[in-house]
Amino acid sequence: MPSIAADDPGLSLGARKMAQVEFAVIKKLVAEAADKAAIGKAVDRIELEADHDEGGSDFLRITLYLKELEKIENKQLVKVIESVEDALLDKDERFPSVRFAEAA
Amino acid sequence: MKYDEELVAAAVSLIARREGQRGKISDARIRRSISTSYYALYHFLIEEAATRLIGTHSTLLRRRRLLVRSFTHAGVKAALDKFSRAVVDQSVAEFVRPAGLASANVPSPQYAQDMAKAFSDAQAKRHDADYDLNKGLSERDAALLAARVTSAVGTWRAARTPADRDFKHAFCMLMLLKGKLREP
């Protein structure tokens, strides 16, 4: 019985080879997402980092540092997450994992 | 209460404040909460596969428990990744194509897209929560993730048409196959 192995040429791995979007472009998309959620003025800075988990999945760590984070409603933050994911999922193979932190 | 629901409740309680409590929630509680939310989603998915592929009868419990040990985190993610976009990945499109659908592209159900995105997000955050203490995670990140997991599981469970049932059955098979099919 054939084994299922990643290097088996008979298997359809379906890997989408997409270009990785440049960080400058991603930052612009994230800033636009924050504007759409009406929290653009609260953004102090945006940090990006590419990484992969222990299973080998690539992801983008996207952290928005926000002024007075505690005053921002959850639904606004959810809107940012959804906008960033919608903007990047078809353009970049790395999953955009959005996080929020209080600006110092 | 189902096991995944107990885990989400635990994730929420880890970052809950007692009445009048002020100040920051400890980093350890935030990280445990995020990790627990991820495991809630993982256990929901493998239990879903076990009940759909084996059956729900109590006499089948041991068989279900044996099956869930065969799943892997990477395999579950590989299967979900096929459905994270509006259109199902071509490599598995025929496998999940609804009867009577003639178009070349097979649309991914919204509840599958939501589940796929929630899982990828949870897995990335759980990686940082458990393995990389240099990467900061906030109380708000933990709260949003617990809510996202609850929402993803809720919308998945709410999809109950015959087409949804067929899709979920095929999806559970794909989880077991780590998202890979042999080409025709």
Could A4 and B140 be called an inter-chain contact, meaning their C-beta atoms sit closer than 8 Å? Answer: no
pLDDT at position A8:
42
B182 and chain A: CB distance < 8 Å anywhere?
yes
pLDDT at position B20:
84
Largest Cα span, chain B:
63
Quick one: average pLDDT of A76-91? 96
A vs B, Cβ pairs < 8 A, gives: 92
pLDDT at position B184:
66
Q: Where are the beta strands (DSSP E) in chain B?
A: 181-182
Q: Name the residue with tokens 């760590």.
A: A61
- HSE (CB half, 13 Å, CA atoms) of B37? 33
What is the pTM for the complete model shown? 0.92
Distance to chain A for B54, nearest Cα, Å = 22
The region of weakest confidence among A33-42, A52-61, B25-34, B82-91 is A52-61
Q: What residue ranges of chain B have pLDDT lower than 70? A: 184
What distance in Å separates the CA atoms of residue B120 and residue B148, rounded to the nearest whole number? Answer: 12
pLDDT at position B183:
76
The ipTM assigned to this model is: 0.91
3-class SS of residue A61? strand
What distance in Å separates the CA atoms of residue B164 and residue B175, rounded to the nearest whole number? Answer: 16
> Mind listing the pLDDT tens digit for each residue in B6-60?
999 999 999 998 888 888 899 999 999 999 999 999 999 999 999 999 999 999 9
Residue A74 CA from chain centroid, whole number: 18
Short-list A60, A59, A83, A80, CA closest to A69: A80
3-class SS of residue A62? strand
B73 and chain A: CB distance < 8 Å anywhere?
yes
Could B140 and A100 be called an inter-chain contact, meaning their C-beta atoms sit closer than 8 Å? Answer: yes
pLDDT of A10 over the 90 cut:
no
